[in-house]
């Protein structure tokens, strides 16, 4: 399978699932997908993001070797799909201690940005809440940001914010 060709062929849930099904058990194909996901081609990265997320859902172990690169990639001003799917993955995994600092920095920037998409903020909020379980000193800063944004947040933001505040 030519992964890049398949990614650019069609952007749909069915296509993402089709590609993921062919990649999820093959580490070399997954590496190829990750190179596209972390690459500089805007459209390819965007479309690869959904497939990476689907692969993670089916085989979370595939992501581990790429965590550091994925987190660094968040700071590059990527397509919203790349940010959303990366943070969606990060909210469900145990981030290794050496990556807590860079991950928290990126997530705080996401949370403080007025122009960031709601889904990106919500996933970033959850990632931060998970880090706060290990680094309690960050709890107050996260609480302040959440409480500041809650009155203006969407229903989805408010719902997640209430859960996160309760968890903190």
Same domain, 40 and 89: no
- How far is residue 56's CA from residue 63's CA, in Å, rounded to a whole number? 7
Q: Is residue 34 part of a domain?
A: yes
Per-residue pLDDT tens over the stretch 53-98: 999 999 999 999 999 999 999 877 678 999 999 999 999 999 999 9
- How far is residue 149's CA from residue 27's CA, in Å, rounded to a whole number? 41
Same domain, 51 and 108: no
Question: 56-74: string of b/e by CB count within 10 Å (b at 16+)?
Answer: beeeeebbeebbeebbebb
Average pLDDT, the chain: 93
**Predicted confidence band of residue 137 (pLDDT cuts 50, 70, 90):** very high
Considering its fold, how many domains does the chain have in total?
2
Q: How far is CA 90 from the centre of its chain?
A: 5
Task: Among 11, 36, 62, give the residue marking a domain's end.
Answer: 62
φ/ψ (deg, to 5) at 154 = -70, 175
Same domain, 97 and 51: no
Same domain, 56 and 120: no
Task: Among 62, 92, 111, give the residue marking a domain's end.
Answer: 62
- How far is residue 8's CA from residue 48's CA, in Å, rounded to a whole number? 9
Same domain, 37 and 85: no
**Predicted confidence band of residue 40 (pLDDT cuts 50, 70, 90):** confident
Same domain, 38 and 82: no
Same domain, 85 and 110: yes
- How far is residue 55's CA from residue 94's CA, in Å, rounded to a whole number? 17
- How far is residue 100's CA from residue 80's CA, in Å, rounded to a whole number? 22
Range of the domain at 15: 1-62
Work out the percent of the chain whose per-residue pLDDT is above 90: 82
**Predicted confidence band of residue 14 (pLDDT cuts 50, 70, 90):** very high
What pLDDT, on the 0 to 100 scale, is given for residue 16?
93
């Amino acid at each position: 399978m030519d992964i890049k060709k398949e990614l650019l062929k069609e952007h749909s849930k069915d296509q993402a699932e089709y590609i993921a099904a062919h990649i999820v058990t093959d580490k070399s194909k997954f590496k190829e997908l990750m190179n596209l996901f972390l690459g500089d081609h805007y459209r390819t990265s965007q479309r690869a993001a959904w497939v990476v997320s689907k692969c993670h859902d089916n085989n979370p172990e595939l992501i581990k070797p790429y965590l550091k690169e994925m987190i660094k990639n968040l700071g590059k001003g990527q397509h919203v799909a790349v940010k959303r799917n990366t943070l969606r993955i990060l909210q469900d995994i145990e981030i290794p201690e050496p990556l807590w600092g860079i991950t928290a920095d990126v997530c705080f920037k996401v949370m403080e940005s007025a122009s960031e998409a709601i889904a990106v903020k919500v996933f970033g909020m959850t990632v931060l809440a998970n880090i706060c379980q290990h680094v309690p000193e960050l709890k107050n800063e996260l609480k302040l940001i959440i409480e500041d944004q809650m009155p203006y947040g969407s229903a989805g933001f408010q719902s997640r914010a209430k859960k996160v505040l309760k968890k903190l």
